A and B are shown apart, each in its own frame.
Chain A
Amino acid sequence: MTTSKSWLLALSVWGLAVLLVSCSAVQQATSILNTATKTAGEAKTVVQAGQMLRSTFADITEEEEYYIGRSVAALILSKYSAYQNDGLTQYINIVGNAVAIHSDRPEVYAGYHFLILDTEDVNALAAPGGMIFVTKGLLRRCKDEETLALVLAHEIGHVSAKHGLKAIKKSRLTDAFMFLGSQAVQRFGPQELVQLTSIFEGVLSDIVEQLVERGYDRKSEYDADGLAVKFGAGTGFDPSGILRFLKTMVGDKSAAAGKGWFRTHPTPEQRIDSLNKQIAGLAVVPKIDDVRTKRFQQYFRTLK
């Protein structure tokens, strides 16, 4: 290779790199410039930038997820009261956080928080952003720490995989991103706030309907079961704890049947089959330990 050819090659490589950076720089510069000006044409460019940047539920920021989750949690707490038992609540929060730090998503915007709902329905709900609810009815069916941990791991799985955010209708998300893209340059004025609040109400309605009324689709539930095994066993818990829980639901004729987890999830038998395969596929299956069962019983004696 001659000297001139090698220089030509080198300059071409360099030029390509500069071009790549420049393209990105132009895109970002467009967005920055539009923040300083507010003509209609330029606002349109910001809309385009917003669309280009954000298109799916996965593009919702952590802070937005937190604010969505807070409102979802507020709606759940308008239907159910919190069960007042500080010691048990604290224990459940420690178990939940122990699992969370062994999950795929140990850190969420404001951390994981767990609350017991004062109802005999058998249910657990995970609001986006890490606010997780379990009912007294569900806790009564947990007989050891492994079972509790695996049920919480299932809910952490929903948060980790952002199943709540997936429930938002695509058209609503498109509207939201277009609107937010065009309004990202300033604090919302009264008119914008009315529009955005209306979109926000729609987002909450999509999530709450799925979470409370309809339940997640079968794939999301099986995914969450798979993540429960992964996170639970990853923490060191015997993953068959979740099987012990599901077996309490098989053939159940109690008042709780037909509500909550009974109504919104695949049948316990189907889930048990799927979970058995998951557990069989683990390289190491942790075993239950008396130390954990004893401390579980100490806290659960206070469940009235």
Chain B
Amino acid sequence: MKKPRSTVFVFAVMTLTLVFAAADILVVKVQTTKLRNGPRYFAQAFLTLSAGAKLEKVSESEGWIQVKTASGVVGWIHSSAIEIPKFNLLAMNKDMKTQASANEVVLAGKGFNKQVEDSYRAKHGEANFTGVEAMLQIKVNLTQVEDFLRKGKLGEFRGVK
């Protein structure tokens, strides 16, 4: 009896590994984000990731995902910054690049993009894109936000004297 059970167990583990490993490839969906050394915004950020970067999921904690980059660097990223590709099960047979390129083809880059905006702008001189560019230049960094929260006794600094 022992041998057959262990055989079933081995196949079950292989099957689960296959399904879960295939589902753990993530892609950065925001322009840029940071990899941090803990699951919180004010943890030390040590690597900038750009849209399209492929990551492997390691674990998760309250909206944060611990990931490994293609070069093997491990850190934390907020779940709102990443996309789980819809056709991710193919990942088990292909390298990460091939898997993501399929998503790029079907989903990203070729939708409403800069080319479409340029075409729209050429037809609509009244739309104030200069104003939009100026608005996007207003930058706030996390150090300023952290200082604001600390001095205002907000966020994780609530109750701190």
Interface residues of A (CB under 8 A from B): 1-3, 5-7, 9-11, 13-14, 16-18, 20-21, 24-25, 27-29, 31-32, 35, 46, 49-50, 53-54, 60-64, 66-68, 70-71, 73-75, 77-78, 82, 89-90, 93-95, 97-98, 101-102, 104-111, 113-115, 131, 145, 176, 180-181, 183-188, 193-194, 196-197, 200-201, 203-204, 235-237, 286, 289, 291-292, 295
Residue B18 contacts which of A21, A66, A176, A188 (CB distance < 8 angstroms)? A21
Given the contacts A53-B107, A71-B120, A101-B41, A110 and B1 also touching, CB distance less than 8 Å = no
User: Chain B at the A interface: mostly helix, strand, loop or mixed?
Assistant: helix
Give CA–CA (A101, B34) in the complex, Å: 14
| A-B pairs under 8 A by CB, number | 230
A21 and B18 CA atoms in complex are apart in Å by 9
B30 — which chain A residues lie within 8 A by C-beta?
A: 62, 107-110
- Contact present for A27 and B87 (CB under 8 Å): yes
Complex Cα spacing A17 to B4, Å: 20
Decide: A181 and B106 in contact? CB cutoff 8 A: yes
Interface presence of B73 (CB below 8 A): no
Q: A31-B102, A93-B138 are in contact. Are A183 and B110 (CB under 8 A)?
A: yes
- Which of the four size classes fits the interface of chain B? 35 or more
CB neighbours (8 Å) of B106 from chain A are 31, 46, 49-50, 53, 181, 184
Contacts of B131 in A (CB 8 A): 73-74, 77, 82
Q: Which residues of B contact A21 (CB under 8 A)?
A: 18-19, 22, 89-90, 92-93
Q: Assuming A107-B80, A131-B135, what are 5 further A-B pairs, CB within 8 angstroms?
A: A61-B111, A63-B51, A98-B149, A104-B80, A180-B111
Q: A6 to chain B: which residues have CB within 8 Å?
A: 4-5, 7-8
User: Is B127 on the interface with A (CB-CB < 8 A)?
Assistant: yes
Bound CA–CA A283/B126 (angstroms): 49
Could you tell me which residues of chain B, from 97 to 115, have a CB within 8 Å of some CB in chain A?
Answer: 98, 101-102, 105-115
Determine whether the beta carbon of B127 is less than 8 Å from that of A94: no
**Assuming A53-B106, A78-B126, is B33 touching A70 (CB within 8 A)?**
no
Q: Do the beta carbons of B80 and A11 come within 8 Å of each other? A: no
- The answer to whether A131 and B8 touch across the interface, beta carbons within 8 angstroms, is no
A-side contacts of B14, CB under 8 Å = 14
**Contacts A13-B15, A108-B30, A110-B136 given: A67-B112 contact, CB under 8 Å?**
yes
- Whether the Cβ atoms of B112 and A200 lie closer than 8 Å is yes
In contact, A113 and B136 (Cβ under 8 angstroms): yes
Contact residues in B for A74 (Cβ distance below 8 Å):
127-129, 131-132
Give 1 or 0 for each of B135-161: 1 = CB within 8 Å of chain A CB: 110101010110011011111001000
Verify if B117 is at the interface (C-beta below 8 Å from A).
Answer: yes
Chain B residues lying within 8 Å of A89, measured Cβ to Cβ, are 138
Given contacts A78-B128, A115-B138, contact A184 B105 (CB under 8 A): yes
Contact B115 A187 (CB under 8 A): yes
Which residue of chain A has the shortest Cβ distance to B144 in the bound complex?
A94
**A109 touches which of B22, B29, B87 (Cβ 8 Å):** B29
Complex contacts, A1 vs chain B, CB 8 Å: 1, 4-5
- Known contacts A3-B3, A21-B89, A115-B138; is A98 also within 8 Å of B154 by CB? yes
